[in-house]
Every structure is written in structure tokens, then in C-alpha cells.
């Protein structure tokens, strides 16, 4: 294919070097511009950091900013760019989360290797109602929940308190504030009315008041867990990672929700949560990298509260922090993500050459089960957990590698 690199693309000059393999770094133009305008540097920081590592690894990174009103131009640049790989950093299209899956779908149709989750997984995980239904259908504990459509009232039979209200199809704590947690029906009705006006469709969940553990996956690696420390939140503030906690640096919510990585968990509990994460991720058709958030109830039951494909890749974000706790550098993390993408593409190409029996779409009921319930196998750092059998941790042919923390002191911010 002919090489195409318009002036708006930020390509690293070769300066006489031997031509390097080109990598398309996919971003949403509106999201990055808005983030910088309002002082949120995370998207731009993630993009710049990934581009720097790609350059260090010997690739030629080319930033391709998707303009929602000109998708044909973006698609043409992808097709004509002679790219070896697409590094997908699009979390929105035109700033809208519900279109996150579209760039991934376009790359899949073109047959170009890409990092991160499939379009189907991005779409299914964003819908909290659907995600909860899939996980519960496979006996994974999730908080009790109800879908509330735009302008609908709180269901009459809802009696689970405290409860938390969230937008149905948003991530990054968008729409989640301290008043999203309701301790009575009156508070819940007010929260639903206020959030519904701003966000439309909502989900109401039983609020699990317990420890919050963040689990991370990169390819087949299960990274050491991290935990959110809520002990210094202002008195009366609910123990949640709200929008302010994520995106208002220096705020009381930010200061009061410090991650501890690795999490201070017993080894057996840490491994069981890592394998629970693998199972939830596989059920959602998960590939690439992800973060899964779990709440431990006072009785010790782990509830999956969120499955987040393609989480933030900024060097100071949670995924990079958990990678460091396993002994990986930031460059190691990006390298693993690339290796996983290229490996999956090779496997998919080989499989497409062989006639396959009919199969269910990924992420729905027939997804392979990576963990036999009640049978989490022991594993040590770098060893595979389970074999390829349907009853093992590597169900469906996937063998999970459990990573334990290195000997460094836990990171706390």
C-alpha cells in the first residue's frame, strides 16, 4: 500500500534511518482537545507516552486523530498508511463514550492488528446492565441492580440500601459523585432525577460497602491487585472513586482515595481475585488489557462492580502502577500490549485458514470459562495457572500467568 502521512499526523522523522514499521496511534480529536482545554491531561499524556515508547522500541508512530464529522478521511489515512499495527487509544468518538467501539470495529474490518479489546467487548462492557446480566448468568457475584430508562421513576420494589446511581453507558467515573450514593428512597429518587436529566438511561446498584480492589490483565498476565484506601475521605463522604476523585487533582476526594499497590491481601485471596477477574474478562469476550473492579463485602464475598477494557495507559495511572508492582517498566507494559496484539492477529489469521464450526458471538453466554468454580489452582510468579481444559484456569485454551508483587515497598499515592 502507498504510504500516506498528511501534515496533521505527528510522525517521528526517520533522518536517514532504515524505514521502521509504522504504527497508527488512534485517538479521538475532540476528547484530547477538550481534556487539554479543561486541564485534564490524561488523554494527551497517555498518547504522548505511548508514542515515546513506540519510538524507543524502534517503530515509527503516527498519531491519527479521528474527527467525528470526517470518519472517511480518518479511514482513508488508516488504509493508505501502510501500517504494521494500530495502537487504539480511542475511548470516545466526538467525545461520546457510546461510540468507543466504532474505531475498533473499523480496524477489525480492515484486518489490521490492533491493541486492546474487540469492538464487541468494548460495546458490551460499557453497558452496565448487559455486563451485570452476563456475569450473573455465569454465577459471578454482582451487586443487585435495576436498569432505569430515561424519565422512568425508581422501581417501586427497590429496597436495597445504600444504593448507588450511575449512567448506564459511561466509564471513568463520569456522572458519579458523592450524592450518587443514596441511603433512603427519597435520596435515591433525587439522585435518579438529577442524573437522569444529565445522562439519560441509568443503572441503580446495591452499594457494597467494603474494600475496593482493582485487578488488571495484560494479555494472559494477571497483575498484582491494587486497593483504594478510603480512610482519609472527609467525614460523611461515601467510600467511592467519584468523578472528582479521578479528575480533580488536589480535591478532598482525590486526597481521600489513595491507591495502595500492591494491595495488602493474603496470597490466597489475591490469587482467587486474580482468577475471578480472568473468568469475568473471558465471559465478556475479553482480549488485550483491562481493569476489573471488585468490592469485598463485610462477609468477604467478592462482587464484580466494573469490567473496564482498555483502561488509561498514562504512566501514573492504575494499570502502569500495577505493572510496576510486578517488576515491569512502562516500556515493558507497552511492549507486552503490542506483543499480545500481534500474537492474537497471527492466531486469528491461522484460524481463518481453517474451516471453523458455527460459534456464538464473543461476550455472550457461550464464552469459555477460565476458572472452575471453587477450584482456583495454586501458582507462583511467572507460572501458568491451569491447563487448556475447560475445567482449568486456562479454559478455552488460554493459560493465565499469575504475577505476584516484586520485593519493592508498596506504592501509595
pLDDT, tens only, 92-103: 887 788 889 999
- pLDDT of 395 higher than 50: no
Residue-range domains of the chain with CATH: 10-114 (no CATH), 144-206 (3.30.1490.20), 211-412 (3.30.470.20)
- Once rounded to an integer, what is the mean pLDDT over residues 30-39? 62
More confidently predicted of 226 and 45: 226
Angle at 152 between CA 151 and CA 156, to 5 degrees: 155
- How many Cα atoms within 13 Å fall on the side-chain side of residue 321? 23
Strand partners, 294: 213, 304
- Once rounded to an integer, what is the mean pLDDT over residues 218-235? 96
Q: What are phi and psi of 98, to 5 degrees?
A: -70, -5
pLDDT level of residue 304 (50, 70, 90 thresholds) = very high
Residue 228: alpha-carbon gap to chain centroid: 17
Rounded distance, CA 133 to CA 140, Å? 10
Take residue 286 and report the three cell numbers written for it.
Answer: 475479553
- pLDDT of 391 higher than 60: no
Length of the chain: 413
Q: Hey, what long-range contacts does 189-195 have (CB within 8 A, 24 or more apart)?
A: 189/153, 189/154, 191/165, 192/148, 192/153, 192/154, 192/165, 195/165, 195/166, 195/167
pLDDT tens-digit series, residues 318-374:
999 999 999 999 999 999 999 999 999 998 877 777 655 555 444 444 444 333 322
Coil, helix or strand for 35?
Answer: helix
In the prediction, which pLDDT does 389 show?
A: 31
- pLDDT of 104 higher than 50: yes
Alpha helices, DSSP H only, in 235-329? 243-247, 252-255, 267-283, 318-325
- pLDDT of 15 higher than 80: no
User: Is 64:26 a contact under the CB 8 Å cutoff?
Assistant: yes
- Once rounded to an integer, what is the mean pLDDT over residues 132-140? 97
Least confident among 135-144, 187-196, 357-366: 357-366
DSSP state at residue 240: S
In the prediction, which pLDDT does 358 show?
A: 53
- pLDDT of 170 higher than 80: yes
Take residue 321 and report the three cell numbers written for it.
Answer: 502502577
Model's pTM, two decimal places? 0.84
The proportion of the chain whose per-residue pLDDT surpasses 90, expressed as a percent, equals 67
More confidently predicted of 302 and 150: 302
**How many CB atoms sit inside 10 A of residue 278's CB?**
29
In the prediction, which pLDDT does 278 show?
A: 97
pLDDT level of residue 68 (50, 70, 90 thresholds) = confident
| H or E element at residue 185 | helix 185-199
- Once rounded to an integer, what is the mean pLDDT over residues 405-411? 60
More confidently predicted of 17 and 58: 58
Determine the number of helices (DSSP H) and then strands (DSSP E) in the chain.
12, 16
More confidently predicted of 279 and 386: 279
pLDDT tens-digit series, residues 232-250:
999 999 999 998 998 888 9
Rounded distance, CA 173 to CA 163, Å? 16
Closest CA to 47 of 103, 99, 90, 101: 90
Amino acid at each position: 500500500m502507498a504510504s500516506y502521512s498528511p501534515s496533521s499526523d505527528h510522525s517521528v522523522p526517520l533522518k536517514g534511518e532504515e524505514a521502521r514499521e509504522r504504527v497508527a496511534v488512534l485517538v479521538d480529536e475532540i476528547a484530547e482537545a477538550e481534556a487539554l482545554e479543561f486541564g485534564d491531561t490524561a488523554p494527551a499524556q497517555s498518547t504522548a507516552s505511548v508514542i515515546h515508547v513506540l519510538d524507543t522500541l524502534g517503530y515509527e508512530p503516527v498519531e491519527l486523530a479521528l474527527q467525528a464529522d470526517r470518519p472517511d478521511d480518518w479511514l482513508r489515512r488508516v488504509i493508505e498508511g501502510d501500517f504494521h499495527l494500530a495502537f487504539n487509544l480511542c475511548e470516545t468518538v466526538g467525545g461520546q463514550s457510546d461510540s468507543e467501539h466504532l474505531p475498533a470495529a473499523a480496524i477489525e474490518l480492515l484486518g489490521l492488528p490492533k491493541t486492546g479489546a474487540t469492538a464487541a467487548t468494548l460495546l458490551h462492557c460499557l453497558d452496565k446492565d448487559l455486563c451485570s446480566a452476563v456475569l450473573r448468568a455465569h454465577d459471578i457475584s454482582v451487586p443487585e441492580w435495576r436498569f432505569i430508562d430515561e424519565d422512568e421513576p425508581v422501581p417501586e420494589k427497590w429496597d436495597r440500601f445504600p444504593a448507588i446511581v450511575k449512567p448506564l453507558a459511561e466509564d471513568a467515573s463520569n456522572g458519579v459523585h458523592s450524592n450518587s450514593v443514596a441511603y433512603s428512597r427519597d435520596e435515591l429518587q433525587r439522585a435518579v432525577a438529577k442524573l437522569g436529566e444529565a445522562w439519560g438511561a441509568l443503572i441503580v446498584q446495591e452499594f457494597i460497602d467494603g474494600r475496593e480492589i482493582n485487578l488488571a490483565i495484560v494479555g494472559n498476565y494477571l497483575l498484582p491487585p491494587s486497593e483504594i484506601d478510603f480512610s482519609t475521605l472527609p467525614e460523611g463522604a461515601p467510600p467511592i472513586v467519584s468523578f472528582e476523585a479521578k479528575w480533580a487533582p488536589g480535591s478532598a476526594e482525590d486526597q481521600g482515595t489513595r491507591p495502595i499497590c500492591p494491595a495488602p491481601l493474603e496470597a490466597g485471596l489475591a490469587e482467587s481475585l486474580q482468577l475471578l477477574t480472568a473468568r469475568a474478562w473471558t465471559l465478556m469476550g475479553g482480549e488485550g488489557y483491562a481493569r476489573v473492579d471488585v468490592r469485598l463485602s463485610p462477609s468477604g464475598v467478592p462482587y464484580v462492580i466494573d469490567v473496564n477494557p482498555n483502561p488509561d495507559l498514562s504512566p501514573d495511572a492504575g494499570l502502569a502502577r500495577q505493572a510496576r508492582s510486578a517488576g515491569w517498566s512502562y516500556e515493558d507494559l507497552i511492549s507486552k500490549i503490542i506483543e499480545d496484539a500481534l500474537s492474537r492477529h497471527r492466531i486469528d489469521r491461522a484460524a481463518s485458514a481453517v474451516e471453523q464450526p458455527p460459534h456464538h458471538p464473543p461476550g455472550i453466554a457461550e464464552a469459555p470459562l477460565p476458572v472452575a468454580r471453587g477450584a482456583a489452582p495454586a501458582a507462583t510468579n511467572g507460572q501458568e495457572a491451569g491447563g487448556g481444559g475447560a475445567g482449568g484456569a486456562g479454559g478455552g485454551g488460554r493459560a493465565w500467568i499469575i504475577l505476584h508483587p516484586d520485593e519493592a515497598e508498596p506504592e501509595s499515592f
